[in-house]
Amino acid sequence: MSLPKIEYSMVNIKIPSLNKNYKFRPFLVKEEKLLLMARESENSEDILLAIKQVVNNCLLDKLDIDKLAVFDLEYIFLKLRSISVDNIVTLSYTDLEDKKSYEFKINLDDVKVIYPEKIDNNIKINGKSGIVMSYPSASLYEDKEFLTLKKDYLFELIIKCLDKLYIEDNVYEFKNYKKQEIVEFLEGLNLKVFEQIQNFLLNVPKLNYEIKYTNSLGNNRSIVLNSLNDFFTWR
Looking at per-residue pLDDT, the higher value among 148 and 73 belongs to 73
Q: Per-residue confidence at 233, pLDDT binned at 50, 70, 90?
A: low
Which residue in 227, 72, 179, 47 sits closest to 134, CA to CA? 72
Contact 194, 186 (CB under 8 A): yes
Q: Per-residue confidence at 145, pLDDT binned at 50, 70, 90?
A: confident
Looking at per-residue pLDDT, the higher value among 8 and 134 belongs to 134
Q: Is the overall model pTM greater than 0.85, yes or no?
A: yes
Query: Poorest-confidence range of 3-12, 75-84, 158-167?
Result: 3-12
**DSSP string spanning the chain?**
-PPPPPP---EEEEETTTTEEEEE----HHHHHHHHHHHHHT-HHHHHHHHHHHHHHHB-S---GGGSBHHHHHHHHHHHHHHHT-SEEEEEEE-TTT--EEEEEEEGGG-EEEPPTT--SEEEEETTEEEEE-PPBGGGGG-HHHHT--S-HHHHHHHHHEEEEEETTEEEEGGGS-HHHHHHHHHTS-HHHHHHHHHHHHT--EEEEEEEEE-TTS-EEEEEE-SHHHH----
Which residue type sits at 133? M
Tens digits of residue pLDDT in 87-109 = 999 999 999 999 999 999 999 99
pLDDT over 90 (residue 11): yes
Q: How far is CA 155 from the centre of its chain?
A: 18
Measure the N-to-C terminal CA separation of the chain; round to a whole number of Å.
Answer: 40
Q: Per-residue confidence at 213, pLDDT binned at 50, 70, 90?
A: very high
Query: Poorest-confidence range of 41-45, 118-122, 210-214?
Result: 41-45
Q: 194: buried, middle or exposed (CB in 10 Å: 19+, 13-18, 0-12)?
A: middle
Tens digits of residue pLDDT in 162-181 = 999 999 999 999 999 999 99
Kindly state the average pLDDT of the residues 15-20. 94
pLDDT at 234: 39
Q: CA 110, 116, 120 angle in degrees (round to 5)?
A: 140
